[in-house]
């Protein structure tokens, strides 16, 4: 313990031998741990992280945590000793020893504290025997706050069955007789239904919906571990095992591969054969669902359970079914391995091939013990049918939704395919409308520093994004512009090359923080960003250089201004390479409270913004005071409800700007917003809970907007009406259509001035005038053209997916659609010029070398 830094700390006891007292990091920093007490009574009293960031812990006489002081408060206490009293306290019930109260630390010295009082009914033998639920309550109290949430819990699993909030709104979770969740009922009485499979995976979810309605709202069905042959709508279940393959017998050495060992059509469910050049071992896992008739036979009272036997060649094979193990010797014996106590239905199985000399095979047979009559059990056990054993990867392979709308054909289906289902890494994703993207991963070979990470992504439009990775160890030469930066390799992403040809390379320190970043344009131009950190880990400086090594912009953060740990100052400087106001700088200053929330901000012109908070850290007031002014020019105040802290009122300079009304009949949602005495806005909601109508009433004006949504939330129609005294009513009706890929294809607008139709095209190939560089632009959701009020237009993209030209009247200003607007880019893909039509523009960017 003499080598521990804490051994010399005043007020702390030397750590006993074997106690963790420090962690040293490769960058020379460390975390040191100080103790109070000795022997079994020793407790961690201080954790001091780099940058003098210390967390203080307090304990009672029986070793329970009773107080915590945060690093920020400890720093503040170095300037104001009174801040040291800002601790979070934990209070226990004497009878049960359970936590009964949590008293939060105030956000300012002497400020109000939030107390959470936790109560829970006792779980007794009678409670368990009778299956009665248990009630728990979390009550929150502070100045202006007095709310609570009550939970009804299952006495065995402690699953939440019912929740009642401070406004008496109740939600319920529904379970079947076996304890599996089957749905919820929200505070409006709307129901959501859920269906799960035997493993608990969600198969179907529908809702929320109002009971008695024909529709069950949004519906999604999910399938797992299936493959989908071409031109077939039904999937085939994967059959076989997950295989964890080890380089040496006995599961020694590293695991070489996680793979899917598919069942061959001519083999039974628990049968495998393999060829190999060297000895290895493999652990196979799967889910076995016997025939229900066999499960009933296995429940025979006179001779219960299952009997397993095995045949193997050049392999030592063991079996684990559920929690029960069968050694190789048992499986090969005349009696076989008898197992009792297995549940009906799906069963976890693990087959361990502990040793194989290379080529080998095995078959495991099973039978209800009540059917085994021969002294040689292998004569009565039978091969397991192939469709009874699946790997149980639970990989999502198909999702079907009822996202139906005008222009759509049938349900919307997303399919995922896996080159190796043992890895949760889909290689092909097919979205509605037939849009297919592909992902390529590294192989899994830790010896070669390959870990199955994604390396390429090909968009539906056939553009490619690439990612490379740093090695898992070693030092890295950071860019020379980032003087003093120490970069290390630890497997982080190295370079991301985007589909437009540009790339970003990141460099990281030993803590995994970005210390340098080099952006490279498609033509080779570079932009370098350097980052440094304060000892405590906060951002210290950032500097950005252009390709000529000229500073574009830099920022410097000064912590503990004038010795106050709660005040920081940021200076942003435009360097010689900045396109706007080079060689100038601005400074801002921020003061935070003991919760880390900003309470004062002084901007670059001297305007002071001061913010106060409620005990729950909601904004209570904001004042803006111009430089030199004695009183604020603008004061905004917020008022919240006592029971649940929902926003009730906003005042500006003492006058009510808005009042918010909530309706229990609408599930506690906003029903009306009153804007002083000038206007009100009433809200109505659809069956799925989405706002569908807003009615605004002012002195001489009434306006309404109503939106029709599909069950899945897609807007198909909107109607707006504005009636003003002395004027004709103005109306606007819009209908929207989408294609199978869920892209907007038409907006039909009817107003008092007539009808407009806007069509949007996503053609399979770009128009001939666009060339052939990017034929499948529409597959990447890029519009290839359309029409505005009958005037057709064409939009073109280059091979990098960038907009190059369009005849769209809304862009060119030419209603005939004959003019063309063209777009030019710099090396980083930023728009630098728009030419043609009536709206030309030139944009200047820092670091533009073109």
* Interval 456-475 mean pLDDT: 95
pLDDT of 410 > 80? The answer is no
Six-digit token string for 639: 């008022």
Confidence of residue 231 (pLDDT cuts 50, 70, 90): low
Q: How far apart are the first and last CA of the chain?
A: 63
Residues 6+ apart with CB under 8 A from 207: 183, 184, 190, 191, 192, 193, 216, 217, 218
Strands 30-36 and 22-24: antiparallel
Radius of gyration for the chain, computed over Cα atoms and rounded to the nearest angstrom: 34
Band of the pLDDT at 496, cuts 50, 70, 90?
very high
The 10s digit of each residue's pLDDT in 175-184 is 988 888 999 9
Instruction: Give the pLDDT score at 445.
Output: 79
Using CA atoms, how far apart are residues 512 and 185, in angstroms rounded to an integer? 44
What is the model's pLDDT at position 2? 64
pLDDT at 303: 86
The verdict on domain 239-390 having CATH code 2.60.120.380 is yes
Query: Which tens digits make up the pLDDT trace of 288-322?
Result: 999 999 999 999 888 899 999 999 999 999 999 99
User: Could you tell me which residue, 718 or 253, shows the higher pLDDT?
Assistant: 718
Helix, strand, coil share (%) of the chain residues, nearest 5: 10, 50, 45
> For the residues 601-616, what does the mean pLDDT come to?
97
187 has a pLDDT exceeding 60: yes
Is omega for the bond preceding 35 within 30 degrees of 0, making it cis?
A: no
Res 528 pLDDT > 90: yes
Mean pLDDT calculated for residue range 618-623: 98
User: Which string of DSSP letters, residue by residue, matches 581-629?
Assistant: STTEEEEEEEEE-TTS-EEEEE-TT--EEEEEE-TTS-EEEEEEE-TT-
Q: How far apart are CA 608 and CA 630, in angstroms?
A: 11
**pLDDT for position 294:** 95
The three-class DSSP label of residue 155 is coil
User: pLDDT at residue 357 above 90?
Assistant: no
DSSP assigned state of 682: E
C-alpha 560/C-alpha 541 separation (Å) is: 15
Average pLDDT over residues 2-29: 87
Q: Is the pLDDT of residue 213 over 80?
A: no
* Bridge partners, residue 276, by sequence: none
Mean pLDDT of the chain: 92
For 422-435, the pLDDT digits (tens) are 999 999 999 998 89
What is the DSSP-derived secondary structure letter of residue 828?
T
Dihedral of the CA atoms 573, 578, 583, 586 (nearest 10)? -30
pLDDT for position 253: 82
- Give the tens place of pLDDT for each residue, 771-816: 888 989 999 999 999 999 999 999 999 988 899 999 999 999 889 9
pLDDT one-digit tens code per residue, 68-94: 999 999 999 999 999 999 999 999 998
Q: How far is CA 507 from CA 50, 485, 495, 549, 682, in A?
A: 21, 9, 9, 18, 53
8 Å CB contact between 537 and 31:
no
pLDDT on residue 358: 77
Where do the domains of the chain lie? 5-187, 239-390, 762-850
Buried-exposed string 86-124: b where 16+ CB fall within 10 A, e elsewhere: bbbbbebeeeeeeebbbbbbbbbbeebbbbbeeebeeee
How far apart, in whole angstroms, are the C-alpha atoms of residue 785 and residue 791? 11
pLDDT of 116 higher than 70: yes
The residues near 595 (Cβ < 8 Å, ≥ 6 apart) are 105, 107, 613, 617
Instruction: Please check whether residue 784 is in contact with residue 774, taking contact to mean a CB–CB distance below 8 angstroms.
Output: no
805-830 burial, b at 16+ Cβ within 10 Å, e below that, comes to bbbbbebbebeebebbbebebbbbbe
pLDDT at 218: 87
pLDDT at site 450: 85
Distance CA 34, CA 47 (A): 7
Q: Using alpha carbons, list the distances in angstroms from residue 42 to 2, 71, 388.
A: 16, 22, 56
The mean pLDDT of 218-234, rounded to a whole number, is 81
* pLDDT band, very low/low/confident/very high, at 850 (cuts 50, 70, 90): low
Q: Residue 129's pLDDT is what?
A: 86
d(CA 455, CA 494): 11
Question: Which helix (H) or strand (E) is 754 found in, with range?
Answer: strand 754-761
Residue 522's pLDDT is 86
In angstroms, the Cα distances linking 563 to 58, 78, 432, 473, 530 are: 27, 9, 59, 39, 27
pLDDT digits (tens, 9 = 90+) for 629-679: 999 999 999 999 999 999 999 999 999 999 999 997 777 899 999 998 889
CA–CA dist 828, 547 (Å, integer) = 12
Q: Which residue has the higher pLDDT, 797 or 838?
A: 797
Q: Mean pLDDT over residues 131-157, rounded?
A: 93
Instruction: Provide mean pLDDT across the span 570-590.
Output: 96
Q: Give the three-state DSSP class for 83.
A: helix
| DSSP run (H or E) holding 127 | helix 125-130
pLDDT value, residue 313: 94
Say if residue 208 is preceded by a cis peptide, omega within 30 of 0.
yes
pLDDT score, position 396: 95
Q: Do 359 and 276 meet the contact criterion of CB atoms below 8 Å apart?
A: yes
Res 232: pLDDT: 57
Give the pLDDT band (50/70/90) at residue 348. very high
d(CA 441, CA 325): 36
| Higher-pLDDT residue of 126, 57 | 57
Q: What percent of the chain clears pLDDT 90, i.e. is strictly above it?
A: 72
């Amino acid at each position: 313990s003499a080598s521990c830094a804490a051994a010399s700390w005043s007020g702390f006891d030397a750590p006993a031998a074997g106690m963790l007292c420090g962690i040293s990091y490769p960058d020379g920093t460390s975390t040191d741990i100080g103790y109070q007490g000795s022997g079994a009574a020793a407790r961690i009293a201080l954790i001091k992280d780099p940058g003098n960031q210390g967390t203080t812990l307090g304990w009672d006489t029986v070793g329970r945590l009773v107080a915590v002081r945060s690093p920020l408060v400890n720093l503040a206490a170095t300037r104001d000793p009174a801040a040291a009293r800002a601790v979070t306290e934990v209070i226990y019930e004497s009878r049960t020893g359970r936590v009964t109260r949590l008293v939060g630390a105030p956000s300012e010295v002497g400020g109000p504290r939030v107390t959470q009082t936790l109560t829970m009914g006792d779980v007794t033998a009678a409670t368990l025997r009778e299956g009665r639920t248990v009630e728990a309550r979390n009550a929150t109290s502070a100045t202006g706050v007095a709310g609570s949430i009550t939970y009804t819990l299952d006495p065995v699993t402690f699953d939440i069955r019912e929740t009642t909030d401070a406004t008496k709104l109740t939600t319920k979770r529904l379970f079947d007789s076996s304890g599996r969740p089957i749905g919820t009922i929200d505070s409006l009485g709307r129901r959501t239904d859920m269906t799960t499979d035997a493993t608990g995976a969600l198969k179907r979810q529908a809702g929320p919906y109002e009971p008695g309605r024909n529709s069950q709202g949004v519906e999604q069905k999910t399938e797992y571990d299936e493959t989908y042959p071409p031109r077939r709508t039904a999937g085939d279940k994967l059959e076989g095992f997950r295989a964890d393959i080890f380089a040496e017998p006995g599961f020694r050495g590293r695991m070489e591969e996680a793979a899917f060992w598919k069942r061959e059509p001519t083999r039974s469910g628990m049968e495998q054969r393999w060829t190999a050049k060297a000895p290895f071992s493999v652990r196979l896992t799967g889910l076995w669902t016997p025939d229900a008739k066999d499960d009933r036979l296995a429940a025979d009272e006179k001779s219960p359970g299952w009997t397993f036997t095995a045949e193997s060649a050049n392999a030592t094979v063991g079996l684990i079914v559920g929690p029960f193990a069968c050694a190789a010797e048992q499986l090969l014996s005349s009696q076989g391995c008898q197992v009792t106590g297995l549940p009906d239905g799906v069963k976890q199985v693990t087959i361990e091939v502990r040793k194989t000399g290379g080529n080998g095979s095995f078959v495991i047979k099973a039978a209800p013990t009540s059917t085994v009559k021969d002294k040689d059990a292998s004569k009565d056990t039978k091969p397991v049918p192939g469709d009874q054993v699946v790997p149980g990867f639970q990989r999502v392979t198909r999702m079907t939704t009822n996202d139906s709308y005008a222009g759509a054909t049938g349900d919307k289906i997303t399919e995922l395919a896996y080159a190796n289902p043992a890895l949760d890494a889909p290689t092909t994703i097919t979205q509605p409308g037939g849009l297919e993207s592909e992902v390529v991963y590294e192989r899994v070979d830790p010896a070669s520093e390959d870990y199955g990470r994604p390396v390429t992504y090909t968009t539906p439009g056939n553009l490619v994004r690439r990612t490379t990775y740093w090695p898992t160890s070693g030092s890295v030469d950071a860019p020379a512009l980032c003087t003093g930066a120490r970069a290390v390799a630890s497997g982080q992403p190295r370079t991301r090359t985007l589909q437009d040809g540009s790339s970003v390379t990141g460099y990281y320190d030993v803590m995994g923080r970005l210390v340098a970043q080099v952006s490279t344009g498609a033509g080779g131009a570079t932009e370098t960003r350097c980052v440094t950190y304060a000892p405590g880990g906060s951002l210290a400086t950032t500097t950005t250089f252009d390709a000529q090594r000229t500073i574009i912009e830099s920022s410097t953060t000064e912590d503990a201004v004038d010795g106050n740990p709660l005040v920081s100052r940021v200076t942003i400087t435009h360097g010689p390479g900045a396109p706007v106001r080079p060689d100038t700088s601005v400074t801002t200053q921020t003061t935070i409270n003991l919760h880390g929330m900003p309470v004062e901000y002084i901007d670059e012109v001297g305007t002071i913004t001061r913010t106060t908070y409620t005990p729950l850290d909601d904004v209570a007031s904001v004042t803006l005071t111009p430089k030199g002014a004695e009183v604020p020019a603008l004061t905004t105040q917020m008022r919240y409800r006592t029971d649940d802290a929902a926003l009730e009122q906003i005042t500006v300079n003492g006058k009510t700007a808005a009042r918010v009304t909530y309706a229990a009949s609408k599930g506690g949602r906003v029903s009306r917003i009153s804007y002083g005495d000038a206007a009100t806005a009433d809200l109505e909601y659809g069956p799925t809970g989405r706002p569908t109508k807003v009615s605004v009433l002012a002195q001489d004006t009434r306006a309404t907007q109503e939106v029709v949504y599909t069950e899945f939330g897609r807007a198909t129609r909107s109607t707006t009406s504005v009636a003003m005294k002395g004027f004709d009513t103005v109306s606007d009706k819009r209908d929207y259509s989408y294609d199978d890929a869920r892209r907007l294809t038409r907006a039909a607008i009817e107003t008092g001035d007539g009808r407009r139709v806007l069509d949007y095209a996503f053609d399979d190939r770009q128009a001939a005038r666009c060339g052939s560089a990017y034929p499948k632009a529409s597959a990447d959701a890029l519009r290839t053209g359309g029409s505005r009020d009958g005037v057709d237009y064409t939009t073109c993209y280059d091979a990098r997916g960038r907009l190059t030209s369009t005849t769209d009247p809304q862009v060119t200003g030419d209603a005939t659609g004959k003019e063309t607007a063209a777009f030019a880019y710099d090396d980083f893909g930023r728009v630098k010029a728009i030419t043609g039509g009536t709206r030309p523009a030139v944009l200047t960017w820092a670091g533009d070398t073109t």
